[in-house]
Amino acid sequence: MMKDVTTAIDGAEVILIFAGAGMSADSNLTTYRDKEGFYNEYPLYRDLKKNYVSMMSYQGLLENPHFAWGYFAHQYTLYSNAIPHEGYKRLLALCRSKDDYFVVTTNVDGLFKKAGFPSKNLHEVHGSLHNLQCSIPCERKTWATKGLTVEIDYSTMKALDNLPLCPQCGFVSRPNICMYGDTDESYVWEESAKNAKQFRDWKKKNKYKKILIFEVGVGEEGLKRHLSQYRQEFSNETLIRINPDCDEIKDDMQFNLRMGVKDAFIALY
């Protein structure tokens, strides 16, 4: 099968990547739905009896910003210390060997950018923890999270210090990521909408090209549904799914590689 996969890679003119949390698992970032992922029994939150929705809701942020910021700051520390694994580098090198490429990801960890994928080729569907916005928001603006230091009391998972504030109005800021309970008013979606337009233009431009689609570490059903819609838009596409938990199905237009992401890209390119 590896030979067929290599043939598909060699023959492709352009590459489209759909990446979920499994993409960063080899950079030691937990996937949300792991047994000890944020969605389930994440050790730091297990005894607090808080579920993920309460950690990540807009309402929760307004009611208890120190608790919400405990989570954001913890996540930001994990993400800003994470190093993109070798698979990111191999994938970028492969992309650069083709006519064009584009990445769509639900990940908010910013590792694609850190690995060198440029913004113009990247759509971070849920936003990025590396950007902040005002929680009201007073302006439809974002700014870089860079240099953020917020101490956390790990027994309560609450932020200890003064929280990062909006430089414009002085109200508490928040990451520019899409949260539970967010509306078009509360979430500054303009950045993401700009990238969504780049993706639409990209699809239009490459509609008739020989396209190779990588579905990498996607556990979320929603993203899989979007992906199967996008597949209809291309006339000549092949899909390679990389996921240690996927079934080993294969047809002429689809290959499922049941392996870790890093190992897969090291084997492929």
Which residues are near Zn ion by CB under 5 A?
134, 138, 166, 168-169, 171
- Minimum gap (Å) between residue 186 Cβ and Zn ion: 12
**Rounded least distance, CB 177 to Zn ion, Å:** 17
Residue 222 CA from chain centroid, whole number: 14
Give the C-alpha separation, 249 to 90, whole Å: 25
Residue found by looking up tokens 């489209």 in the block: 16
- The CB-of-50 to Zn ion minimum distance in angstroms stands at 27
Question: Taking the CB of residue 217, how many other CB atoms lie within 10 A of it?
Answer: 28
Across the chain, how many H-helices and E-strands are there? 10, 12
User: For residues 84 and 137, which CB has a smaller minimum distance to Zn ion in the complex?
Assistant: 137
Q: CB of residue 140 vs Zn ion: minimum separation in angstroms?
A: 11
Cα-Cα-Cα-Cα torsion 45, 220, 173, 75, nearest 10 degrees, comes to 40
Q: Which is nearer to Zn ion, 32 or 171 (CB)?
A: 171
Q: Which CB sits closer to Zn ion, 151 or 185?
A: 185
- Residue 253: CB partners within 8 Å, gap ≥ 6? 237, 238, 239
Closest approach of Zn ion to the CB of residue 135, in Å: 7
118/167 with CB nearer Zn ion: 167
Query: Which of residues 138 and 193 has its CB atom nearest to Zn ion in the complex?
Result: 138
For residue 13, the cross-strand partners are none
- 137: tokens are 């928001």
